[in-house]
Amino acid sequence: MKILVLNAGSSSVKYSLFEMSDRSVLIAGIIERIGEDAASHSYALANNDRTRDEINCRNHQQALQLLFETLAACRVLTDRRELAGIGHRVVHGGEHFREPALIDAQVMQRIAEVIPLAPLHNPANLLGIEEAIRQMGETPQVAVFDTAFHQTLPGYAYRYPLPEHLYTDHGVRRYGFHGTSHRYVAEQAAQYLSKPLSETNLITLHLGNGASVTAIQNGRSIDTSMGMTPLEGLMMGSRCGDIDPAIHFYLNRTLNLSNEAIETLLNKESGCKGICGENDMRAIHRMAESGDEDSRLALAMYAYRIKKYIGAYFAVLGRVDALVFTGGVGENDAWLREQVCLDMTLFGIAIDQEKNRKPVRPCDSINPANSGVAILVIATNEELEIAIQAMQCLELPQTLN
Ligand SMILES: Nc1ncnc2c1ncn2[C@@H]1O[C@H](COP(=O)(O)OP(=O)(O)O)[C@@H](O)[C@H]1O
Ligand SMILES: CC(=O)OP(=O)(O)O
Ligand SMILES: [Mg+2]
């Protein structure tokens, strides 16, 4: 049984086709820079054959056409009827969606309604859905929301100290994101620890281009660092994370920046990029090693801000079974993991340098045997989690071979 997973961004479409009987990836690819001159399509098949093509791709319609042509040409989907469903990543589900939803006109309407809460993400997700329906209307489609896992936050964690009507009339509250990833690594961590997820307390750190931390109590998200939008919380590649909201007025009044200019500045020109001109963590390390002081400052700030959240979430949870690192940075950056865990013996956190240098994929512990809190490095797999949730939503049997 095959499930296709789509993650449509404003200028890219990422996709993975799974054979769900053994959860293997038949093909995974990305079509990038849609609508620009130098669009590209790169994909890898199960045998690891990689292809990268420069392409002409004006819009999402052409991108999805190319995607289905590629599935047929690579013989991973010769008959479209083999496809049991399509799972879509949708970033914002507002308060309405606590679970994945079978897509129909009403679900699409609800995704559209929360566009004001996620103007940078939801319009692109919706475009992907609309196009997939146009091309594959006969295949059931499921929306899996980044926000859903965090719908268990208590009111005192999700409300902002703002006038009540902003919440009741306009939905201004904290929602949290990366829920699919936090949920997936929480399940993997509980399995690794041989504990039921419903009795497991975790702090999960998703550190990719976007980054967020979640406090998980008995398997449920009870607080998370991203807020109404994915801009709040940790310092990220190009997003500022937590800052004094009065900076916004200052930028407007003193520098005469428009709302749009400030939105771009805080989302695309801040974070690591704002501090040292670079948002890719590997490049930042290279610059720091060659003596660039701004890069060193960016790394120090990035680690420091993670550490502060870990302290806060220890206080919130009381007991923590494991600290989990995931995402491109969390999974690969041994230096960062070490910095974050430095001088935290008070919390029972200690790192085994040797294990930290090369954790075994997809899940490994990097703490010494005697430490109080497990420290785990877990490869996230948002696409697989979306495929599994799509299967559940479609009530398809989840039997593994
Ligand atoms: N070996 C590595 N060491 C440090 N950072 C890495 C390494 N490999 C990837 N990264 C970083 O991971 C980040 C991308 O994370 P990823 O989870 O792939 O992003 P996305 O949020 O787009 O899914 C980039 O900053 C990249 O530099
Ligand atoms: C919600 C979010 O921040 O997503 P990403 O990390 O993919 O940008
Ligand atoms: Mg990712």
- CB within 8 Å of 399: residues ≥ 6 apart: 21
State the first-to-last Cα distance of the chain, in angstroms, to the nearest integer: 12
Which domain covers residue 8, as residue numbers?
Answer: 2-145
Mutate-to-test residue for ligand 1 from 184, 207, 238, 282, highest number of ligand atoms within 8 A of CB: 282
What is the pLDDT, as a whole number, of residue 187?
A: 98
In 173-210, beta strands by DSSP E: 202-207
ipTM: 0.97
Domain boundary among 85, 118, 145: 145
Q: Do residues 111 and 216 both lie within one domain? A: no
- At residue 72, the 3 state secondary structure works out as helix
Mutate-to-test residue for ligand 2 from 120, 146, 175, 178, highest number of ligand atoms within 8 A of CB: 178
- Does residue 391 sit within a domain? no
Which domain CATH number covers 202?
3.30.420.40
Q: Do residues 101 and 217 both lie within one domain? A: no
Q: Which atom of ligand 2 is nearest to the CA of 177?
A: 1
Regarding the beta carbon of 146 and ligand 2, being less than 6 Å apart is answered yes
Domain boundary among 145, 167, 186: 145
Residue 14 is labelled as binding a ligand: yes
What is the pLDDT, as a whole number, of residue 401?
A: 65
Mutate-to-test residue for ligand 1 from 180, 331, 332, highest number of ligand atoms within 8 A of CB: 332
Rg of the Cα atoms in the chain: 21
Regarding the beta carbon of 9 and ligand 1, being less than 6 Å apart is answered no
Alpha carbon distances (Å) from 299 to 83, 286, 324, 351: 44, 11, 19, 19
How many Å lie between the centroid of ligand 3 and the Cα of residue 318?
Answer: 29
Q: How many Å apart are CA 71 and CA 52, to the nearest integer?
A: 15
Q: Which atom of ligand 1 is nearest to the CA of 380?
A: 17
- At residue 224, the 3 state secondary structure works out as strand
What is the pLDDT, as a whole number, of residue 398?
A: 80
Considering 22, 146, 169, 364, which one is annotated as catalytic? 146
Q: How many Å apart are CA 388 and CA 383, to the nearest integer?
A: 9
Q: Do residues 115 and 207 both lie within one domain? A: no
- Does residue 153 sit within a domain? no
Q: Do residues 233 and 341 both lie within one domain? A: yes
Q: Do residues 271 and 351 both lie within one domain? A: yes
Domain boundary among 145, 172, 206: 145
Residue 208 is labelled as binding a ligand: yes
Q: Do residues 266 and 342 both lie within one domain? A: yes
Residue 377 is labelled as binding a ligand: no
- Does residue 124 sit within a domain? yes
DSSP bridge partners of 41:
31, 53
- Among protein residues, the one with the nearest Cα to ligand 2's atom 8 is 210
Regarding the beta carbon of 328 and ligand 1, being less than 6 Å apart is answered yes
- Does residue 258 sit within a domain? yes
- Does residue 64 sit within a domain? yes
- Does residue 69 sit within a domain? yes
Examine the residue annotation and report whether 146 is marked as an active-site residue of this protein: yes
Q: Do residues 88 and 230 both lie within one domain? A: no
The dihedral built from the CA positions of residue 296, 333, 270 and 42, taken in this order, carries a sign that is: positive
Q: Do residues 231 and 368 both lie within one domain? A: yes
How many Å lie between the centroid of ligand 2 and the Cα of residue 206?
Answer: 10
What is the pLDDT, as a whole number, of residue 204?
A: 99
Domains held by the chain: number: 2
The 8 Å CB, 24+ separation contacts for 69-75 are: 70/27, 70/29, 70/41, 70/43, 71/4, 71/17, 71/27, 74/27, 74/43, 74/45
- Does residue 210 sit within a domain? yes
How confident is the chain (401 residues) per 10-residue block, as mean pLDDT?
A: 93 94 96 92 94 94 94 92 96 95 97 91 93 92 98 98 97 97 98 98 96 98 97 97 98 97 96 97 98 98 98 97 98 98 95 96 96 96 96 89 65
Regarding the beta carbon of 12 and ligand 2, being less than 6 Å apart is answered no
Regarding the beta carbon of 237 and ligand 1, being less than 6 Å apart is answered yes
- Among protein residues, the one with the nearest Cα to ligand 1's atom 19 is 208
Q: How many Å apart are CA 126 and CA 12, to the nearest integer?
A: 13
Q: Do residues 366 and 238 both lie within one domain? A: yes
Q: How many Å apart are CA 331 and CA 196, to the nearest integer?
A: 24
- Does residue 126 sit within a domain? yes
Residue 307 is labelled as binding a ligand: no
Nearest bound ligand to the CA of residue 327: 1
Regarding the beta carbon of 327 and ligand 2, being less than 6 Å apart is answered no
Regarding the beta carbon of 230 and ligand 2, being less than 6 Å apart is answered yes
- Among protein residues, the one with the nearest Cα to ligand 1's atom 22 is 209
Determine contact, residues 73/65, Cβ cutoff 8 Å.
no
How many Å lie between the centroid of ligand 3 and the Cα of residue 13?
Answer: 13
Regarding the beta carbon of 219 and ligand 2, being less than 6 Å apart is answered no
Q: Do residues 370 and 225 both lie within one domain? A: yes
Closest by alpha carbon to 239, among 315, 323, 327, 302? 302
Instruction: Classify the phi-psi angles of 4: left when phi > 0, otherwise alpha if psi is within -120 to 50, otherwise beta.
Output: beta
Q: Do residues 126 and 224 both lie within one domain? A: no
Closest by alpha carbon to 321, among 201, 188, 182, 195? 201
Alpha carbon distances (Å) from 264 to 8, 119, 122, 156: 20, 12, 17, 30
Q: Do residues 325 and 266 both lie within one domain? A: yes
